[in-house]
Amino acid sequence: MKSFFLNQKNILILVFLNLVVILMVGFFPNDYVLFYIDAFFTILFVVEAIFKISYYGFKNYWSDNWNKFDFIVTLLAVPSLANLFVDSHFATTNVLLSLRTLRVFKSFLLIRFIPNIDKLITGVKLACKASLMVIMGFTVLMLVTSIITSALFGEIVPEIFGNPAKSIYTTFRLFSVEGWYDIPDLIASRSSVGYAVFAKIYFCFLLFTGGIIGMSLINSIFVDAMVADNNDEVLDKLNEIEEKINKLSDK
């Protein structure tokens, strides 16, 4: 049994099967057979953690980041087992019902089986560091424009610019280029012709600076930083090939 739980292929199969059960529970939330099967998988993942700790020792087990991830995800799903020890009707009407949703955290166990996930995570970390200052600058731009926009249009459309908090959310929505044109159209319907023209020009300017230039800049820096490691590997290989060609040509 210990060898079974120490085999990563077996764990991958268990995670995948559990994910299928979780999806089925979403379609049949009142099917207690599926619920007990899902609870059984949770127990299996707890047993896996126990076997690994006993085999590697807690210190060595905890030194591996993926083991930490597995342990935390499994621990988050354990409270859902409390529903096994109460009446089924009570479990569906009590706060214990919310504990059943914790089982979905087990789906995250599939992440560590993604090919080259370590490189992907490293790339994301580098990308976050590289784009940190740009994101901070973009955030400042969004906050400043939110305050200005709230002062300009807060009385006309208080439901979206009535206070800085609402204005920040609406500005972020504007920068995402999702339904941005509804905002100036709404202002135009409640104001004079001159103010309506000003609003349309103003929000077109915000869209261009924040939504097009700002978001594109962040995206380009983020993606460039993520693929930087791959570019370095390619350059190293090219340099190695060039050195070998030069040696051959010298001979």
Q: What is the pLDDT of residues 188-237, one digit of tens each?
A: 999 888 888 999 999 999 989 888 888 888 878 777 766 665 555 555 66
Question: What is the number of domains present in the chain?
Answer: 2
pLDDT along the chain (251 residues), means of 10: 83 87 82 84 90 90 88 85 62 52 73 77 76 84 91 91 91 84 89 90 90 83 69 62 70 58
DSSP string, 179-248: STTHHHHHHHHTS-HHHHHHHHHHHHHHIIIIIIIIHHHHHHHHHHHHTHHHHHHHHHHHHHHHHHHHHH
Identity of the residue numbered 71: F
pLDDT at 26: 77
Asked if residue 36 and residue 101 are part of one domain, the reply reads yes
120 domain residue, yes or no: no
Q: Do residues 135 and 88 share a domain?
A: no
pTM score > 0.75 for this model? no
* Same domain flag for 86 and 133: no
Both 241 and 133 in a single domain? yes
Domain boundary among 113, 141, 160: 113
- What is the extent of the structural domain holding 32? 2-113
Of 113, 147, 181, which marks where a domain is finished?
113
User: Is 108 found in the same domain as 134?
Assistant: no
Residue 88, domain member (yes or no): yes
Within-domain flag for 251: no
Is residue 131 domain-shared with residue 185, that is, in the same domain?
yes
Is 138 found in the same domain as 88? Answer: no
* Residue 219 pLDDT: 79
